[in-house]
Amino acid sequence: MSVRQPLVGLAVEEAAQPHVGSACGALFDRARTVTVLCLITTCLLATVALWRRSLNFEGPAHRSPGAAQSDDAFTILKAEIIIYSTIAVIGLASLTIAGFVFIAKGTIGEDGQLGSYSALRAVHRTSLLSVPPTEFEWSRSVHSDSLAPEIILYSCGMVCLYAAAATNLAMPRLFGAIINLVSVPSAMTPLEKRARLNQEALELLICLVLSNLFSGGKGCITQKELFSNLLRQEVAMYDETKSGELTSRLSNDVTTLQDALTVNLSVGVRSLASVIGGTIILFIVSTRLTLMMLSVIPLAAIATMCYARFVGQLSKDYQKELASSTEVATEALSSIRVVKTFPKGEAKAETRYAHHIDRSYAIGLRKSLGFGGFSWIVGMLIFISMTAVVWYGAGLVLSGAMLPGTLMSFLFYTLGSIGGSVAGLSEVVSKLAETVGATAKVFEYIDREPQHAAATAEISDGVEYQPLICSGRLNFTEVRFAYPTRGDIEVLKGITFAVEPGQTVALVGHSGVGKSTCISLILRFYDPTAGVIALDGRSLATLKDDCLRRNVSLVAQEPVLFSTSIMDNIKYGSDRDITQEEVESAARAANCHHFISTFPEGYDTLVGERGVQLSGGQKQRVAIARSMVASPKILLLDEATSALDAENERKVQEALEELSSSRTTIVVAHRLSTVQNADVVIYMEDGRVAESGRHHQLLALKDGKYAALVRQQLHGSASFLE
């Protein structure tokens, strides 16, 4: 046993032993063992507490009124009984908390890390709806110190839930005591009965107040964790997954999970405590009546398991259709100008959206019918058992073997505490089944690790990580690449070229030859399938993401601005605090300071979603300023000046040429004005480097492919060929 585990592990040796298989399976086994111990201990505590008070619920028929009055226990539930019962359930809460702490301590590694949401993941992967995997990788971890506030809140919540259950269990007995007080003959005077009745009513009122006082709310951070992990994924995942589906997972699925972790969790814990405590009391009241009542439990359990399997798959299909409808809506609304460009564009978008909504409605209808059938079966079983209990209990009262108040107390426990709690548990099981099905993708995304993980540890394989001081030298060596979604089509076929610090290199060629793919590989959106891309002699795969992003910046062909101010968009390019002067300097260099100054709010002007408030050329220049403010060693321009008119392009080109003396610049462009002043022009064809050299050198080649491309674009004009 690890020294990190508490001594309670000695009492659960089986749970503390190493488990073969997944970490999740070991955690679930430990949780199950600790839970069983908690339940057994609670049953013992509750039984001892109740028997020590000699509740004497049934009250033998041969007892005289005087004896009954002298005993007094069969009519009065003393305040001490509530205390003993509360101690018992608080003991359960304490043991449960200790068990979870034990589980947490047992799974914290040497680095002080603990897998988050482990318990719910364990339930998810070991549920009736899932096949337990043979291997499970922990998702993002949180430091053990951050668990302290959650453990405190969890502990307080558990104590309150158990205390509420304890006060609820006291109320039916108080009702029974009141009925016995007014219906059973005794030697008490009317004034004494009135005083006793007032005492019972006061105790009942106290229980009601405490029950409501102990109810509380909880919170959940799943949404933040899911969004954070989605941002960490490689670009290839987004090529295969629609953004609308991810948005749906962040909203619909996480909301379902939050309900399970808040409302349903509190209802489930409270109902379970009420069922356990109430069953113990009922066994003390009448063993035969209790067994008769519990006889339908196996049938109810079978119905619950069948319903859980049924609704779990439906929930998966339901969330899938919701995700598809969200994707269609997001796509149509974000491209509303395109939708309104074509005939019947709105009708086509509406038809696509209605298709998924209708399918989700049909699945929801099946879920509702299934829940109705399940509720009817459980209700019939409860009705049958209660009919049998009333029939048999009435016979006991008629024969004098049971007091009327005792039977009423039993019925209150059965219908109120236990019946209501069983109904609550059934609904919780139903919601849990829906949650397991609906949130399968949520945990899949949370647990998912990027396919090409960058260097994140300070020490790897015994070698200390050394941060890169970048000069801007870039080398492609026999690089091959195929997009993950089209693995059989090789885009780059062994390209090799070098870029020296401070050089401006232009990548030229027809569409589809791999120019923009080279840019994506430099940014490490993807990893090459073969070959090496090195920055200052170090493979990009050995660099931390932050290191690469501080030294490389991109201005894309279609720049994307965020729905915030121009100031914030430009500042987004750097991870340090950028001053107003630095922002304006970058804007002047990108030739956008003038038009920004004409806006009433200047740099605080909101650009709208994806920069819709700006023209194409204005967005492009703001994007260039955003890259300049980062002062990268390598500047990537993917058709960055394509949206500018000739005058603005000339001004921006002058600024870029001035800045290129201190940074490496790689340009992807078709326009001659962009590439003719480059230090090196690389002409690509069919995923390979066909020609390379300066602009005038390549034009001088008699049968050169670059020269042919230039002539083709100029339509025979020789004015740019000098």
Helix runs in 131-242, H state only:
147-183, 190-213, 222-232, 235-240
> Strand, coil or helix: what is 286?
coil
CA–CA distance from 381 to each of 289, 294, 388, 401, 639 (Å)? 15, 10, 11, 27, 71
CATH-assigned architecture of domain 7-447: Up-down Bundle (1.20)
Whether the CB-CB separation of 615 and 577 falls below 8 Å is answered with no
Dihedral (Cα; 570, 572, 575, 580), 10-degree rounding: 30
Q: Nearest CA to 470 among 574, 551, 575? A: 551
Q: Where does residue 662 rank: exposed (0-12), middle (13-18), buried (19+ CB within 10 A)?
A: exposed
Can you tell me the distance from the alpha carbon of 523 to that of 520, in angstroms, rounded to the nearest whole number?
A: 5
How does strand 680-685 pair with strand 688-693? Answer: antiparallel
Q: Nearest CA to 272 among 42, 85, 83? A: 42
Tell me the torsion sign for CA atoms 326, 308, 362, 262.
negative
Calculate ∠ Cα 264-267-270, nearest 5°.
145
The confidence score (pLDDT) of residue 620 equals 80
Neighbours of 436 (CB within 10 A): 25
Can you tell me the distance from the alpha carbon of 622 to that of 634, in angstroms, rounded to the nearest whole number?
A: 18
Calculate ∠ Cα 174-180-184, nearest 5°.
170
Q: What would the DSSP string read from start to end of 343-412?
A: TTHHHHHHHHHHHHHHHHHHHHHHHHHHHHHHHHHHHHHHHHHHHHHHHHHHHHHHTTSS-HHHHHHHHH
CA–CA distance from 630 to each of 318, 479, 500, 531, 572 (Å)? 45, 28, 20, 29, 9
Calculate ∠ Cα 562-330-605, nearest 5°.
25
**Beta strand extents in 626-679 (DSSP E only):** 634-638, 664-668
The confidence score (pLDDT) of residue 267 equals 66
Q: Nearest CA to 46 among 155, 189, 224, 170? A: 170
In the chain, which residues have pLDDT < 50?
1-28, 30-32, 49-81, 83-84, 95, 98-99, 101-151, 153-154, 204, 207-223, 455-465, 717-722
Whether the CB-CB separation of 168 and 207 falls below 8 Å is answered with yes
The confidence score (pLDDT) of residue 165 equals 55
Ramachandran bin of 450, using left for φ above 0, alpha for ψ from -120 to 50, beta for the remaining angles: beta
CB-based contacts of 252, cutoff 8 Å, min separation 6:
319, 322, 323, 326, 438
Q: Nearest CA to 688 among 486, 519, 475, 496? A: 496
121, containing H or E segment: helix 118-125
The confidence score (pLDDT) of residue 145 equals 42
Q: At residue 4, what are phi and psi to the nearest 5 degrees?
A: -80, -15
CB-based contacts of 515, cutoff 8 Å, min separation 6:
507, 508, 509, 668, 684
Can you tell me the distance from the alpha carbon of 502 to that of 121, in angstroms, rounded to the nearest whole number?
A: 51
Neighbours of 600 (CB within 10 A): 6
Structural tokens at position 93: 């809460």
The confidence score (pLDDT) of residue 479 equals 92
Calculate ∠ Cα 209-211-217, nearest 5°.
115
The confidence score (pLDDT) of residue 480 equals 92
Whole-model pTM?
0.53
Q: At residue 6, what are phi and psi to the nearest 5 degrees?
A: -75, 170
- Structure-token match 């019947």, residue found: 344
Q: What would the DSSP string read from start to end of 269-327?
A: HHHHHHHHHHHHHHHHH-HHHHHHHHTTHHHHHHHHHHHHHHHHHHHHHHHHHHHHHHH
Q: Nearest CA to 431 among 223, 274, 255? A: 255
- Structure-token match 């619920």, residue found: 57
Bridge partners of 37, per DSSP, are none
- Structure-token match 């005058």, residue found: 647
How does strand 459-460 pair with strand 141-143? Answer: unpaired
Whether the CB-CB separation of 307 and 370 falls below 8 Å is answered with yes
Tell me the torsion sign for CA atoms 325, 327, 330, 331.
negative
Bridge partners of 115, per DSSP, are 141
Can you tell me the distance from the alpha carbon of 143 to that of 138, in angstroms, rounded to the nearest whole number?
A: 14
Can you tell me the distance from the alpha carbon of 36 to that of 19, in angstroms, rounded to the nearest whole number?
A: 18
Looking at residue 606, the DSSP 8-state letter turns out to be B
Can you tell me the distance from the alpha carbon of 24 to that of 118, in angstroms, rounded to the nearest whole number?
A: 7
The confidence score (pLDDT) of residue 160 equals 55
Whether the CB-CB separation of 563 and 606 falls below 8 Å is answered with yes
Enumerate the domain spans of the chain: 7-447, 474-714
Helix runs in 463-592, H state only:
515-522, 545-551, 566-571, 580-589
Longest dimension (CA), the chain: 126
- On whether the 474-714 domain is CATH 1.10.10.10, my answer is no
Looking at residue 7, the DSSP 8-state letter turns out to be G
CB-based contacts of 434, cutoff 8 Å, min separation 6:
256, 311, 312, 315, 367
The confidence score (pLDDT) of residue 179 equals 57
Give the model confidence (pLDDT) of 414-454 as tens digits. 766 666 676 667 667 666 666 665 566 666 666 666 665 55
Total count of residues recorded for the chain = 722
